Each structure stands twice: as structure tokens, then as C-alpha cells.
Structure 1
Amino acid sequence: MNYRNNVLRILKEDILPGESKTINMEIAKLHTMTKLKIPIIVERAKLPGPTVLLSAGLHGDEINGTEIVRQLIVQKINKPKTGTIICIPIINVFGFVNQTREFPDGRDLNRVFPGSKTGSLASRFAYYLLKEIIPHVDYAIDFHAGGAARFNAAQIRIAPNNQELRDLAEIFHAPFTLYSNNISGSFRNSCDKLGVKMLLFEGGKSIDINEDITQQGIEGAKRVLEHFGMLNSRKKASHPEEKSIYIEKSAWIRARYSGMFHGYTKIGSYVNKGQLLATISDPYGKIEHKMKAPNSGYVINVNEAPIVYQGDAIYHISTELEK
């Protein structure tokens, strides 16, 4: 693909080849009239190349994704040898301030895309993100974490039947890759419709920073940038010998009882059908329910909450691997 080194224009500001610029996106204020700015950090090389977006914080409480993008900036990995790298460490700055998943209007930003210029607060953010940023982007990596107390193993999620995304996932080389259909209203779905190839990274849990997950995200991003000839010559990408595990189908195991949760299963491990995964007990020492694996597979998400309720999602286990 031939890339041109045109002037990049975002929110009425021009960024020239070889230039670095932080652009603050201001769409709304707090109810106290305090301004909230979303920094968009743009680094351009003098040589032409693709434009890659590295984003996080679509859900305000998924701090581990923000830490990954922050580290990419601190380590100057975002300074490309060719092309352009756009970093948005926090998209949902409102949720980040309040350490909540949603926007102040109660909406999940990842369900309101493509948004509306005159819609709800979350909808307006979605609209401007697609209007101002995404038209310039060729590839994107969006970093997420598990919701509530559910800890995700480091994984890439891609839509099925898309060979280019499959190849990119192989380059990123997370321990697990899940085939997952695009969800209506999601950032990933809107990017796909606009021709942007997006890898969605999941790892860790909300309101938490995990060093291993952070490193998985950083190294995967470096491998992708290296593939496009964008990785700074002073930076080196690691290339693990272990193969990624591709999961065609998976299913949640839900708690059949409420009580105190005692997990015995390590995230990322392979379990056999009938293996004891956890127990759920009452607080008085009289009752203890065993939770066993309904099938053999890899554990890609674990609920780390000490207390669970009947119906809570506890374990996410693969049911069918790519052949």
C-alpha cells in the first residue's frame, strides 16, 4: 500500500510530517462548569506510512488499558520510524474521573456508536471520535479490561472470517485470540464499517493495574508496529516461541448458588471436564457447593469477587478451538 505524507488535520489543528502535537478535545464540561479535556497525542514521522491508533479508557474503570497506552508513550514507543501514531489513553474521561464504566448520563459509550452530534453526552463523544479521528486511521488497537471483579487473560478479540485481522492477531501474538462477532453500537463495529482494521485487547480487571497484563499489551503493540516498519530502531520487539491459542467458541459458567466464593483455578490454565473449579459456601460453615467444569477447555476469565450471587458469571471457558 502506498501512503502519502499529507498534512493531518484533527479538530481544526494541522500536524505536519515529522511533527509531534497534543490536541485537547473538549466536548462538554462537568456540572460544576469545569472543563474536561481529552488529550489526543499525535506523533508523526517524516517518512510516509500507515496511521495507527492506540486507544484505551472507553470504559472509565478499565485502568489497565490506560496504563498500557501510557507506557507506550513514556517509553517513546509511540514515536514512529514511519507513518503516524495517535494515542488516546483515556476516551471516557468522565468515567475515569469517577472510576465508573459509564458516562454521567448512564450510557455505555461502547454501545452508542456511531453516535449523534445532538444526542446524549456519550453519543456526542462517539460522534466526534468517529468524525475527527477515525477517518485518518488505518489500523487500531483498543485496550480493555474485564468488567467488575472479572479478570481476563491477555487476549485479542477479532471478528471471524477476516483474514487480515487474523494475520494481525498472529503478529500481536497474545496468549489467546477469541473470534467474537462485532456488537451493534460498539466502537469496533463502527471502525470496521469505516474500513479501519481493529484489534481489541482484553486483559486484567477494572480498577486494577496488573504488570503482566501491561507487558503483554506493550509487547503486542510493539510487534504490530514492527510489522508495519514503524517501530523506532532503538526499540526491540520480543517474539515468544509459544503459539497463540485460537478459540472459536466459549461459554460462561454461572453461579448456581449465592455465597462466599473460593476459586481454585488459575487464569489461562487448561481444565478437564468434571475438574473442581471452585466452591461456594455460606458464611456459617454449614454449606459448601462444588463448582465443576462442564467441559474441557482453557479458562480465559475468572471472577475474583469474594462474594457471588446466583447467576453471576464466574468462569469463561473455551468450548471449541480453531482447527
Structure 2
Amino acid sequence: MAHTKNDILTILGVSIKPGERKEANFDVANLHTSTPVNVPVIIERSKKPGPIVLFTAGIHGDEVNGVEIVRQLIAKGINKPKCGTIICIPVINVFGFINLKREFPDGRDLNRVFPGSKDGSLASRVAYKLVHEIIPHVEYIIDFHTGGSGRFNAPQLRYSKGNRIPNDLAKVFGAPFVLYSKNLSKSFRTICYKLGKPLLLFEGGKSFHIDDVITNSGVNGSKRILHHLGMLSSKFKVSAPKNNCVFINESKWIRANYSGMFKASITIGVQVTKGDILGNITDPYGKFNYFVKAQNNGYIINVNESPIVYQGDALFRITTNIKT
């Protein structure tokens, strides 16, 4: 679905003509000090009509790697389309980003309050404004996230199974893994699905951390999507994915049988066989050493990087049912 006429696009009260670049301000509330909070929405339009693509990050304020991906898209000029329009919102939850907190100051997770409410909580108001003033204008969305609680995610895309358009786009994006995941109630992904807006959710890395491999995966995948849509400037090269994408139907957590000091001994994203040693748990006194082993064949798509774990903590996420 592409726009066929050179119409004026109006977002958050800002009018953008074909060929123009403008910033709109996604303002909802001031800080408690009365200081205004500006959340820039960066809009780049080509003179040629085409699709409208939205790149978002920072729904969770502590997921800085996603913010870095969108920042690079802007800094490198990848967001200047050959046709159509590219909208970038690098930090949606700027309140959480300021404090490096996942939630909003009201304690709510923005990704669990969609579609929001005009007169609800702060997080709910942000969700409402995003759904009513940004989403109606766009045709494709790529939303960047990272793992939490010290758990490092391999670069992966997530969407519900049987969703044909994201499935086709995922193959173009070329992340190493696609994890079929049910739409979560009141999430951004779910509301976009209900509104008929194809969304790719990218997960990679962990909170409070910027990782070059994850960043490159997100940036390169975004370039492939834009190239596929005919929007990427010819000055940018598009690299083919290093490996075929692995589609994950099911996965499970390998959990700690003991509390102690933990160290993984395998690399994220590797394929392992049942019985392979993945890491070990020790005590501080040198008396105990327990080896964590793979319980089945599969790929390791998430690793707990916390040095201290307790019995029952999730250590590794391993695939149990895949297709390539």
C-alpha cells in the first residue's frame, strides 16, 4: 500500500509537505519540576510518493540499545527516503529514559496499557496519543526492544504465528532468529495488529547496555526493509544476512538447580546438542562446582549474564521446535 498523491502530512499539529524534513513534539506532561519534556518525532519525506514507515524505540526506558539503533538510522541519514516517508521516535518513554527505568513514573509498563486512555494514567495517555496521532498515518512499523534483568537476547524478531505480512518482512529483515510469540494483552504490538498495521518487534541485547552486534543487526535489517520497499537511498549498500533465519515455534528456559555464582561458557546464538556444557554454578568458597548442561538439541537464544543466581532463576533459553 503506497501513497499515490503528494499530499500534506499532518502529525501532532505539524504539516509536512513532500520533500520536507520536520520535527514534531510528542509532549504529554512536564516533569515534576515544571520542566517541559520534548520527545522529538523526526519526519523525513521524499518528493516521490511511497510507503510510510515508523521506527520506534524506548517503550521501556532502560532499553538503550534500541534507542541507539534508531539514533544511527537518523545520524547516518538512512531515514531520508528515496520515496515515501520515514518517521522516527527514538525514545517513546522519555520519562523512564531519564531515570533509566523500565516503567513510567506512575509505575506502569507502557507496553501493557495500549490502546490507552485520554484521561488515564501518564503511561495510558502516552499510549493513547501514539495510537491516535501517529499510528493512523503509518503503514509499517519496526519497534526495537532489548532483554531485561541481565538476560541477553540474541538478535530476533517476534510476532504471532500465521501473520503473513510480518512473516514476509521478517525474511527480508534477516535477523538470525524469528520467535513466534502470541500477542500480549494491551501491548503496542497487539494494538497495531488489531489496527491492521504490520509490526516487526526486534529484540536484542540487554537493558542498560549497547552492543555493536545487536546494533548492527537492527540497522542492517532496517536497511533491507527500506530497500525492499524501494525507499532506501542508493548511496547505502545492503548486505545479505550471514545465515538463514531460524524460525522458532517453541522454546523453554533452562533454570538454575542451585544458587551461587554463575558463568556461561557458550556464545549467544550457537547451536548445541543435548548434554553440552553451557556454563557452571559455583559457591564463593571453592567447594562446589555444578555444570549446567543442555537438556535437548537447539539454539541458545538468551543467556543470563548475572554473576549471582538463585535456584529457579532462568539461565538459558533454548529452542525446542524450529524450522529453517
What TM-score do the two structures reach when normalised by structure 1? 0.98
Amino acid in structure 2 at the alignment position of 1:76: G
For residues 196 and 182 of structure 1, the distance between their equivalents in structure 2, rounded to whole angstroms, comes to 14
- 1:311: Cα distance to partner? 2.1
1:141 aligns with 2:111: no
Amino acid in structure 2 at the alignment position of 1:317: I
* SS in structure 2 at match of 1:129: helix
In structure 2, the residue matched to 1:167 is 168
For residues 305 and 207 of structure 1, the distance between their equivalents in structure 2, rounded to whole angstroms, comes to 13
Post-superposition Cα deviations, 1:113-153, rounded to whole Å, max 9, x if no partner, equal: 11111111111111101011000010011011110211111
In structure 1, the residue matched to 2:196 is 195
Amino acid in structure 1 at the alignment position of 2:47: K
CA RMSD of aligned residues (A): 1.1
In structure 2, the residue matched to 1:266 is 267
For residues 254 and 210 of structure 1, the distance between their equivalents in structure 2, rounded to whole angstroms, comes to 25
In structure 1, the residue matched to 2:102 is 101
In structure 2, the residue matched to 1:281 is 282
- 1:28: Cα distance to partner? 0.8
In structure 1, the residue matched to 2:53 is 52
For residues 291 and 27 of structure 2, the distance between their equivalents in structure 1, rounded to whole angstroms, comes to 51
Amino acid in structure 2 at the alignment position of 1:25: F
* SS in structure 2 at match of 1:174: coil
> Contact 2:176 / 2:244 at 8 angstroms: preserved in 1?
yes
For residues 173 and 294 of structure 1, the distance between their equivalents in structure 2, rounded to whole angstroms, comes to 28
- 1:157: Cα distance to partner? 1.0
Residue-pair matches, total: 323
In structure 1, the residue matched to 2:76 is 75
> Contact 2:49 / 2:84 at 8 angstroms: preserved in 1?
yes
* SS in structure 2 at match of 1:64: helix
Post-superposition Cα deviations, 1:184-214, rounded to whole Å, max 9, x if no partner, equal: 1110101111111000111111111111111
Amino acid in structure 1 at the alignment position of 2:3: Y
* SS in structure 1 at match of 2:22: strand
In structure 2, the residue matched to 1:243 is 244
For residues 41 and 239 of structure 2, the distance between their equivalents in structure 1, rounded to whole angstroms, comes to 27
For residues 251 and 239 of structure 2, the distance between their equivalents in structure 1, rounded to whole angstroms, comes to 29
For residues 117 and 184 of structure 2, the distance between their equivalents in structure 1, rounded to whole angstroms, comes to 18
Matches within 5 A, 1:169-318: 169-318=170-319
> Contact 2:64 / 2:210 at 8 angstroms: preserved in 1?
yes
For residues 242 and 90 of structure 2, the distance between their equivalents in structure 1, rounded to whole angstroms, comes to 30
For residues 309 and 30 of structure 2, the distance between their equivalents in structure 1, rounded to whole angstroms, comes to 37
For residues 2 and 113 of structure 2, the distance between their equivalents in structure 1, rounded to whole angstroms, comes to 34
Extract structure 1 runs of 4+ deviating beyond 4 A.
none
- 1:298: Cα distance to partner? 0.2
* SS in structure 2 at match of 1:317: strand
In structure 1, the residue matched to 2:320 is 319
For residues 2 and 95 of structure 1, the distance between their equivalents in structure 2, rounded to whole angstroms, comes to 35
- 1:241: Cα distance to partner? 5.0
For residues 213 and 306 of structure 1, the distance between their equivalents in structure 2, rounded to whole angstroms, comes to 22
For residues 58 and 254 of structure 1, the distance between their equivalents in structure 2, rounded to whole angstroms, comes to 28
For residues 279 and 216 of structure 2, the distance between their equivalents in structure 1, rounded to whole angstroms, comes to 28
- 1:289: Cα distance to partner? 2.2
For residues 147 and 164 of structure 1, the distance between their equivalents in structure 2, rounded to whole angstroms, comes to 28
- 1:248: Cα distance to partner? 0.9
* SS in structure 2 at match of 1:160: coil
Post-superposition Cα deviations, 1:261-282, rounded to whole Å, max 9, x if no partner, equal: 0211210001111211121111
In structure 2, the residue matched to 1:124 is 125
- When structure 1 is superposed on structure 2, of 154-163 and 135-144 the one drifting more is 154-163
Which runs of 5 or more residues in structure 2 are unaligned? none
* SS in structure 2 at match of 1:126: helix
Which runs of 5 or more residues in structure 1 are unaligned? none
For residues 41 and 257 of structure 1, the distance between their equivalents in structure 2, rounded to whole angstroms, comes to 49
For residues 117 and 254 of structure 1, the distance between their equivalents in structure 2, rounded to whole angstroms, comes to 42
Amino acid in structure 2 at the alignment position of 1:3: H
- 1:29: Cα distance to partner? 1.4
